[in-house]
Amino acid sequence: MELTGAEIIIECLKAEDIDYVFGYPGGAVLHIYDAFYKQDDVQHILVRHEQGATHAADGYARATGKPGVVLVTSGPGATNAVTGIATAYMDSIPMIVITGQVPKHLIGNDAFQEVDSVGITRPIVKHNFLINDVNDIAETFKKAFYVATTGRPGPVVIDIPKDITAEKVAFEYPSEINMRSYNPAVVADEGQIKKAVELMVKAERPMIYSGGGVIIGNGSEQLRTFTRSLGYPITQTLMGLGAFPASDPLSVGMLGMHGTYEANMGMHHSDLLIAIGARFDDRVTGALEKFCPDAKIIHIDIDPASISKNVKVDVPIVGEVTQVLDAVNALLEKAAEKTNKGAIEKWWAQINEWRAQDCLKYDRESEIIKPQFVIEELHKVTNGDAYITSDVGQHQMFAAQYYGFDKPRRWINSGGLGTMGFGLPAALGVKLAFPNEEVACITGESSIQMCLQELSTCKQYGLPIKIINLNNGYMGMVRQWQEFFYEKRYAMSYFDALPDFVALAESYGHVGIKVEKTADVRPALEEAFKQKDRLVFLDFITDREENVYPMIPSGAGLNEMILV
């Protein structure tokens, strides 16, 4: 039987086991929307802005590990999706973005709603395709999903001219795909693994530095076994939180610009750095010339281009995190006994001394609501078990520092691109994936306004997420930098026309609660989570000029932190 191109697209999505597509219609994709209308295997979620579609698909992907799928029209539909594609790209999130294109004969004509989507997205995708022939749709989809989900994952854009979505052809989905130019299967070098284990056993001041790659590569189990068998301290990046439990005493917290004192000092003084699925981002390393001066470095990563990009490593290991750590763990079964117990004990004593600084302390007696306090209470009310999405700013750092993630895929934030507006649509995507789990979006009054329109999507699909708005009346993170580095000249970082968020939430058909006193924080949170099937917007009026500590100013080393 022959199917139209549009019907073939749906069949491809079914074959890939896709349950949700996040999208927004327009002229170039109307055939595809018509095909959606005629079936109910794949559910289409109508967002209110294409950026929302990309973040929702991204949140869905981060929480589930499955690729998120987006469908947008040509021209402005595609350009609106760009921020979300770049967000997913920077954090290596598997995503398929289907963009409509003007009919083939109009391409290059400056036709109505024509943009070169493949050209615009080229630097922010793992790969992209322009389909020229209805016969190529099935194979292209197979390739796109294969590329997006294997190796170091990433977004893939498929641009489809309108005319070929109406043409008919017999459908057959390839069961296998072989691309001579793309071969993500790597087997880590055994010799390198042995060398790494030797260094691990001999280390006197080791530090495990694990990143988002462990979560994306589903390596949390292996990481736990590994860390516990050695008994070494572990620090995690903003993207890696939850791969190893924050509540485990071996965890010294997050590292980097707003990392803990013990993590950053531990990094700086280590003699062996074991980097796993992390990419030595500038927010993590601080000034490169001061980075870990005494450490030998082992780096395990799926992407060879990540290795020795910013920091030269001594033992590179390219491979899947699960496979590499399984091999390491097997060797450690015998070797772990031989670690230098005396030196490690001394090292822990030193780390505990740094810990005693209690770098995350804040005024717990404050009557004015402290943002940190809200996060700690949120942890208690949700038993530390909620899916937490966030936007970008101080609230994001507070969430990372104070929520204490014990499980992977629970902490969902835009670490690489730092996209304000990510939190709400991402939460919507997570809630669709896990309707029975608690999902909260930690945000600020500036960030939330960037994709606010998705409150309407939440209403339409009945997605009772909880919004934790830490409202300090400032673009807090910008204000903090202006306080520290621009003598408090608060240029454009203040909002003096904020909406009434309670009324706003209510106008979308949700519940709004304003909280102004510390004593009301806990009851308000409890009330919000009691309302199982309502979206509750909690507007916490917080200390206006609270800062995120510790902080490493730019140009400083990891041992040069500003503490409270």
Ligand X SMILES: Cc1ncc(C[n+]2csc(CCOP(=O)(O)OP(=O)(O)O)c2C)c(N)n1
Please tell me the distance from the alpha carbon of residue 13 to that of residue 228, in angstroms, as a whole number.
41
Contacts of 41 (CB under 8 A, 6+ apart): 10, 14
Q: What angle do CA 69, 55, 282 make, to 5 degrees?
A: 120
Closest CA to 74 of 121, 37, 127: 121
Residue 373 annotated in active site: no
- Mark whether 540 is an active-site residue: no
Q: How far is the CB of 392 from ligand X (least distance, A)?
A: 4
User: In the stretch 472-501, what mask flags binding to ligand X with x, by CB under 6 A?
Assistant: x-xxxxx-----------------------
| Among 305, 356, 503, 562, interactor with other proteins by CB under 8 A | 305
Give the integer Cα–Cα distance in Å for 437 and 247. 21
532 binds other proteins (CB under 8 A): no
Shortest separation between residue 548's beta carbon and ligand X, angstroms = 8
> Is residue 420 annotated as part of the catalytic site, yes or no?
no
Dihedral class, residue 421 (left if φ above 0, else alpha if ψ from -120 to 50, else beta): left
Choosing from 126, 142, 143, 162, the catalytic residue is: 162
Among 130, 201, 463, 552, binds other proteins (CB under 8 A): 130
Tell me which of 72, 420, 430, 505 binds ligand X, using CB under 6 A.
420
Beta carbons of 463 and 430 less than 8 angstroms apart = no
Residue from 11, 50, 114, 376 carrying the catalytic annotation: 50
Q: Are 223 and 247 in contact (CB under 8 A)?
A: no
**Binder of ligand X out of 395, 409, 410, 431 (CB under 6 A):** 395
Q: Using the minimum distance from each CB to ligand X, give the nearer residue, 319 or 476.
A: 476
Q: Cα–Cα distance between 187 and 167 in angstroms, integer? A: 43
Is the Cβ of residue 122 or residue 517 nearer to other proteins in the bound state?
122
Q: Cβ(457)–Cβ(51) under 8 Å?
A: no
Nearest to 6 by CA among 161, 142, 204: 161
Check residue 97 for interaction with other proteins (CB under 8 A): no
179 binding other proteins? (CB under 8 A): yes
Catalytic residue among 112, 172, 190, 338: 112
Cα separation of 158 and 318, whole Å? Answer: 29
Q: From ligand X, other proteins, none, which one binds at residue 475 (CB under 5 to 8 Å depending on kind)?
A: ligand X
Smallest gap from residue 132 Cβ to other proteins (A): 8
One DSSP character per residue, 142-166 reads: HHHHHHHHSSS--EEEEEEEHHHHH
Close Cβ partners of 365 (under 8 Å, ≥ 6 residues apart)? none
By C-beta, is 90 or 307 nearer to ligand X?
90
User: Does residue 13 interact with other proteins by CB under 8 A?
Assistant: no
> What does 126 bind: ligand X, other proteins, none (CB cut-off 5 to 8 Å by kind)?
other proteins
What does residue 255 show for φ and ψ, rounded to 5 degrees? -115, 175
Active site positions, annotated: 50, 112-113, 162, 477
- Catalog residues that contact other proteins under the rule CB under 8 A: 118-119, 122-123, 126-128, 130, 147, 179-182, 288-289, 291-293, 295, 297, 303-305, 308-312
- Catalog residues that contact ligand X under the rule CB under 6 A: 391-395, 418-421, 444-447, 470, 472, 474-478
